[in-house]
Amino acid sequence: MENQAEFATFMHSYQDMVFSTAVRLTGNDAQAEDIAQEVFIKAYENFPTLRTSPTAGGWLKTVTTRLTLNHLSRYRRRWRFFSEMRTEDDAEVEFPVPDTLLSDLDASQRHERVERALRELPEHYRVPLVLYHFEELSYDEIAEQLRISLPKVKTDIQRGRAAMAKLLQRAGGV
């Protein structure tokens, strides 16, 4: 293919975005690499259109998100959403997050700490949080993507935030 060099440049431009999207959702580098490879195979098949498209980045992000969610749904029996679990007294989980939790860190340190905490979260916490905060999907879109109810999405995100706050506090020695 005469466009191999052009595709290699295209792939290099987007590889970090594709990989980071997949790894945030899966929490696993090896799975994210496999998904990224699959995304770029699809991109290669559609390269004649993508090479001049101003929305190529959005297309790649959408394909990455969908492929990752498909991958996770194949293994759904292995995990449950947090809201499917109950505390002993069925009480709502509350966990206050100090406003100063990450304020003493520079941007790269905050990014690193958040990414590390995301990787530690089980999939049932991580997926709704990433879709909401990083992929900027609405609650309705998340419910549709994950095939769950809207109240369940809201509960999972709230409880995921609480779990994330605990991880960030532990990492910060607070």
CA dist., res. 131 & res. 154, Å (int): 12
Query: Alpha-carbon distance 18 to 89, whole Å?
Result: 41
Class level of CATH domain 4-77: mainly alpha
In percent, the amount of the chain with pLDDT more than 90 equals 37
Task: Tell me how far apart the alpha carbons of residues 24 and 130 are, in angstroms, rounded to a whole number.
Answer: 7
Per-domain residue ranges for the chain? 4-77, 82-172
Residue 88 φ then ψ, to 5°: -60, -40
CA 128, 38, 62, 115 torsion: positive or negative? Answer: positive
Q: What is the pTM of this model?
A: 0.64
CATH 3.40.1350.10 fits 82-172, yes or no: no
Cα–Cα distance, 20 to 166 (Å, whole number):
23
pLDDT at 85 over 60: no
Q: Which carries the bigger pLDDT value, residue 124 or residue 56?
A: 56
